[in-house]
Amino acid sequence: MSGTYGDSTRSIKAVVSEAIPGQPIAPPPVPAAAYHLPADEDDSLDSYGRSSNPTWRQLESALAQLEGAAAALTFGSGMAAITSVLRTVAEPGRTIIVPADGYYQVRAYANEFLAPRGVTVVEARCSEMCDAAAAAGRDDVVLAETPSNPGLDVVDLHRLAMTCRARGSILVVDNTTATPLGQQPLSLGADLVVASATKALAGHHDVLAGYVAGSHPEVMERLQRERLLSGPVLGSFEAWLVLRSLGSLGLRFERQCQNAAAVALMLRSHPAVKSVRYPGLPDDPAHAVATMQMRRFGGVVAVELADRDAVHALVGRSALLVAATSFGGIHSSVDRRARWGDPVPEGFARLSLGIEDTDDLLSDIEQALDPAGR
Ligand SMILES: *Cc1c(COP(=O)(O)O)cnc(C)c1O
């Protein structure tokens, strides 16, 4: 019974192909723009690369299994997936609530491209999401991101889903930070999951990809139609890279979560650290809600140091942290978010823990932080 398998087993089961003797266990990517056509129309066959691709189908089936969804659709990036959903579900005249403390380019898109087309854009922080959703009406859209990137605050998804259901609004959850091994928003009542597979899912800092997962057939069909007509598709080689990575997701994510928990605990009592957020820390303000809805707390830790220079000094003195503006990769990385315009202090850094040995990371980061806070 697949329901009783652990997450590593589920990740592997999701990517193994059907057992057809003589066929590869891991099928190669199919880079096809056009296919041979039959004389008579036949919608069941692949015909053109923007409408369907065998490698997408394999990845989409794996992602749907991991998210607990009836279907998934892949896109060329997380933003392609998210904006395709927003264009499809946020009708002119409706309100869309977007995270004020989440991924900044999502609210930039909503404000710059949806608001001028008659969609009312409301920004709400994680802590305000449920109240904001209580004021939303039928067919309005609520986009929640939990844990939020970069602040790692958490939204109570069960409560938010109950509110959205009562109001008749559509709940979309960005599951990038948690990954489906950290939480399954659809099982908590979300209508759609959107995510960047660029981060922990693909996990090697070498490919951009995104996806949407959901179980309403009409919504998923409309999204598929939107993807066909607007064309933000994933290349087959990229789909194959993500598929290849998914098999080791359980192993990688487990180590990343373990490293993040250990580093967060160390940072909590380090004299150079002003504050730490990690939903897995027992005294984190989000811990109680996170424990109810998350199976793992993720590989990202938010830390505030004295100032901008303190973050640069940390990177300079560390032998293991690379400065990079992504997260979820096998290499540990650090990003000073104020440089991108996130509403965070100058000394705020998002640490992404990779799959290095925990003790090595602990001693490297501990010595790289200046105890005097400089
Ligand atoms: C990175 C990220 C995105 C955008 O994904 P891309 O693959 O870079 O387009 C969206 N949401 C969150 C939470 C992210 O971290």
Instruction: Give the tens place of pLDDT for each residue, 138-193.
Output: 999 999 999 999 999 999 999 999 999 999 999 999 999 999 999 999 999 999 99
Cα–Cα distance measured from residue 48 to residue 319, given in angstroms and rounded to the nearest whole number: 48
Does 2 or 277 have the greater pLDDT score? Answer: 277
Q: What is the CATH number of domain 249-368?
A: 3.90.1150.10
pLDDT tier at 31, thresholds 50, 70, 90 = very high
Sequence spans of domains, the chain = 7-246, 249-368
Cα–Cα distance measured from residue 373 to residue 371, given in angstroms and rounded to the nearest whole number: 5
pLDDT score for 1: 43
Q: How far is CA 161 from the centre of its chain?
A: 19
pLDDT score for 341: 87
Mean pLDDT of the chain: 96
The average pLDDT across 8-20 equals 93
Examine the pLDDT at 371 and tell me if it is beyond 90: no
The average pLDDT across 7-31 equals 94
- 17, 51, 79, 207, 240 from 28: Cα distances, Å: 11, 19, 26, 17, 7
CA max distance for the chain: 76
pLDDT score for 372: 66
Q: Kind of pairing, strands 333-336 and 348-352?
A: antiparallel
In this prediction the pTM is 0.97
* Run of H or E residues at 56: helix 54-67
Residue type, 123: E
pLDDT score for 110: 98
Distance from the alpha carbon of residue 205 to the mean position of ligand 1, in angstroms:
13
Both tokens of 313, joined, read 């000094």
Which residue's structure tokens are 């009562």?
166
Contact (CB, 8 A) for 53 and 235: no
Does 43 or 109 have the greater pLDDT score? Answer: 109
Give residue ranges with CB within 6 A of ligand 1.
77-79, 82, 103, 145, 149, 174, 176-177, 196, 198-199, 208, 210
Q: Is 7-246's fold the same as 249-368's?
A: no
Distance from the alpha carbon of residue 197 to the mean position of ligand 1, in angstroms:
8
To test ligand 1's pocket by mutation, which of 85, 146, 149, 212 has the most ligand atoms within 8 angstroms of CB? 149
- Smallest CA-to-CA distance from 90 within 116, 71, 67 is with 116
Rounded to 5 degrees, what are φ and ψ at 285?
Answer: -60, -25
Q: What is the CATH number of domain 7-246?
A: 3.40.640.10
Instruction: Give the tens place of pLDDT for each residue, 303-338.
Output: 999 999 999 999 999 999 999 999 999 999 999 999
